[in-house]
Amino acid sequence: MGSDSNINMSKLYHIGCRRGEVGRYVLLPGDPGRVPMIASLLDDAKEISHNREYLTYTGTLLGEKVSVTSTGMGCPSTAIAVEELAIAGADTFIRVGTSGPMQDFIEAGDLLIAWGAIRDEYTSKQYVPPEYPAVADLEVTLALRQAARDRGVRHHVGLTQSKDSFYGQHEPDRMPVSRQLQDRWKAWIAGGTLCSEMEASTIFVVTRMLNCRSGGIMTSGIDLTHLLVTAVDGLKILIEQDIARR
């Protein structure tokens, strides 16, 4: 075999998948425990690989190959997942996860669809300067919004804040930079930011650098039912649109 064949047959170092084992479309939860839950909404899904924090299942939707891969918690591991999934053949990514609401009008269980993210993390700065916006793909965002509307689920579309430190947000008073953390937090809220999580901005930036597309849908509660089915419904809408353009 030539060198290209060897590359195609070898497993990607971190996610443990080979080229062709993942679909064009990938749903990205953070928690590996949520991968089987999402995969159960696909057709004929089976486990492909599990290495470190990266668990991958692949099945189909509307006859198209779709994968679910956990990213782990935070932007560094998320960037690795996106990079290697793109090598394996993916070009459409949807972040599916939990988040902390930042506005008083958001109720527990509301869905939060991100059209953009505040880059309050450092991973994406290893790709492009901080002035570059972290923006989701419009078609992906509109498909997720339509899915939420069709299901009649309370939802909001707007900005998320992606951070590096969970406890820097939840226990800022004990940090030496507490004033800076609190001032920035107040600024994000005053600017209308919907929620806070730890992955979306890097997904949006890295996929742009890879000429791929991405979106993000999060829940403000602990019940994942509406989140997962709406994310899959949104992906179905996107697949239907892609098929219609062929």
Q: Which pLDDT tens digit goes with each residue over 118-157?
A: 999 999 999 999 999 999 999 999 999 999 999 999 999 9
Residue 130 near residue 228 (C-beta atoms within 8 A): no
C-alpha count within 13 angstroms, C-beta hemisphere, residue 19: 9
pLDDT in tens, 56-75: 999 999 999 999 999 999 99
- What φ, ψ does residue 111 adopt, rounded to 5°? -95, 140
Residue 65 near residue 83 (C-beta atoms within 8 A): no
Alpha carbon distance 47, 114 (integer Å): 29
Please count the structural domains in the chain: 1
Residues 6+ positions from 51 with CB-CB distance below 8 Å: 14, 15, 16
Please state the pTM of the whole predicted model. Answer: 0.94
- Residue 101 is part of a domain; what is its CATH number? 3.40.50.1580
Domain that holds residue 140: 3-244
Residue ranges of the chain whose pLDDT lies below 50: 1-7
User: What pLDDT score does 9 carry?
Assistant: 64
Alpha carbon distance 99, 224 (integer Å): 11
User: What pLDDT score does 3 carry?
Assistant: 40
